[in-house]
Structure 1
Amino acid sequence: ADEDKNKIGPSLHGVIGRTAGTHPDFKYSDAMIAAGKSGVKWDEPTLTTYLHDPKAMVKGTKMTFPGLKTDADVANVIAYLKQFSP
């Protein structure tokens, strides 16, 4: 997240507050693009839900990660991402 470069997934630099499916130069799934168009923004509550179970929140996402199991792990990831967001 400390660099604004896409890799396997889109860059997470500045993800807090970003509309889902909108980082430039990344090929998102149709489902993630639709989520963004429907108003999904990556704020703390939305990220919490997504990080627990990405496929349940955005059905059809290309993300293969099954999700984090504990609230503490989710909170730690969000705290980390906040360091690189406005």
Structure 2
Amino acid sequence: MDVNQTNSIAFMLRYIMENLVDDRTSLSETLDILYNIISQEGLEAISPYTGHPGNLVLPRKQEVAAALNRYRYLKVK
């Protein structure tokens, strides 16, 4: 894994927690929504910085799901 992929995953987790998590959407559906947003708007959509997002690299969905799976503060119903 590349450092830029790690940064992207961190930004993706933050974006998911702040914008996409609800009680009705599954993890798989949430990741599909996230990747649809990125495919339409680019990686700058998940970046907390305005303008150019920096050196971000798009990780695979499985890598983001694995990071969510290991996130200690995630509460699943």
Q: TM-score, normalised by structure 1?
A: 0.34
Per chain length, whose mean CA-contact separation is higher, i.e. which structure has more relative contact order (CA < 8 Å, sep 6+)?
Answer: 2
Q: TM-score, normalised by structure 2?
A: 0.36
**Larger helix proportion, structure 1 or 2?**
2
